[in-house]
Amino acid sequence: MTDENGTQSMENKETPRQFGTGLGIKIFYGFIRAGGQKPAYALLYVVVFYYLLFSPRARESASHYISRRFPDAGGFRVFIHTYRLIVSLGRGLIDSAAVSIKGTSAMNATCPDKEALHGLINHNKGDNKGVILLMSHAGCWQAAMSALDFLPIPLNMVMQIYQDHDNYHLLKHKASNIKVIDSSGYLGGTIDIMKALARGEGVSVMGDRLFEADKNGLDAQFLGAEARFPYSAFRIASATGAPILVLFASKLGGVDYRVELSKVIRVPQGLGRKKAAYQPYLDDYIASLEQYCEKFPYQFFNFYNMWKL
């Protein structure tokens, strides 16, 4: 979300995309085209090793999360944890690239909570409230979107089109029921979000990354220290009455992904603009995020210091 009128400034985080150069990405695409994901993974293991060995910046960007997720690790163990984290990120990116090249058959994404999601969505569709899908930079959101193609409503993905150009085109290309709301546009796309919810549609927002220009941050304990999170999803939920479905995507191995409904957060209507009113709901989401990080320590992809307040 933007903080004020107009467009949003650049994100202050090092994005995963910065881990690869244009030429490097082309080489990986070449490997995927020639032999599928496995040869690309093999190349990835080598590239990440050398990359981490010679790039202090890469190690530093991963260290914020690694030092809190593995507080007792030191020296060589930190290097191993960092290596596994970056490899996991790279494998997700390779799988996403494979989907864009070869179609959804390149990824096997399932959702064990289909029935529950159907029930929740149909209930709210009748009330014209829609649902907010609260996702995180964890696992592979492209897999999540693939796994949710059974949903009977259009999904609106809130993203910065100029920043996430490739994913925007990937979504447009492969998923007919997915629409994109540009969060870098006027008022952060909030009007479009509200209209989509009023039509009974789903709106997918990320709950774990705050943008530089965003005043809508709230501090909460995450992995043992105070970190800053966006709370826009909770405020929109309060204004519209839409429930928040907390979803996590995880890679299980090979090309298998799973998307799970972690919990449903219902924010009372009319909480207004006081940040503190949203703290319990943010804490509820963070409890799920911590459980996810406990279970999948190498699938949380925020490479910036979210603990620096």
Chain positions contacting other proteins, by CB under 8 A: 1-6, 185-195, 215-216, 232, 235-236, 239-240, 272-274
Q: How far is the CB of 190 from other proteins (least distance, A)?
A: 5
> Strand 178-182 to strand 155-159: parallel, antiparallel, or no bridges (unpaired)?
parallel
Query: In angstroms, what CA-CA distances link 300 with 95, 210, 226, 263, 278?
Result: 16, 15, 17, 18, 24
CB contact at 8 A, 164 and 8: no
90/188 with CB nearer other proteins: 188
6/74 with CB nearer other proteins: 6
148/157 with CB nearer other proteins: 157
Query: In angstroms, what CA-CA distances link 185 with 39, 158, 181, 234?
Result: 39, 11, 9, 20
Q: How far is the CB of 178 from other proteins (least distance, A)?
A: 19
Query: In angstroms, what CA-CA distances link 72 with 65, 178, 289, 295?
Result: 13, 42, 20, 18
Q: How far is the CB of 226 from other proteins (least distance, A)?
A: 22
3/149 with CB nearer other proteins: 3
Q: How far is the CB of 198 from other proteins (least distance, A)?
A: 9
Task: For residue 144, give the amino acid letter.
Answer: A
Q: How far is the CB of 274 from other proteins (least distance, A)?
A: 6
1/62 with CB nearer other proteins: 1
Number of neighbours of residue 46 by Cβ within 10 angstroms: 9
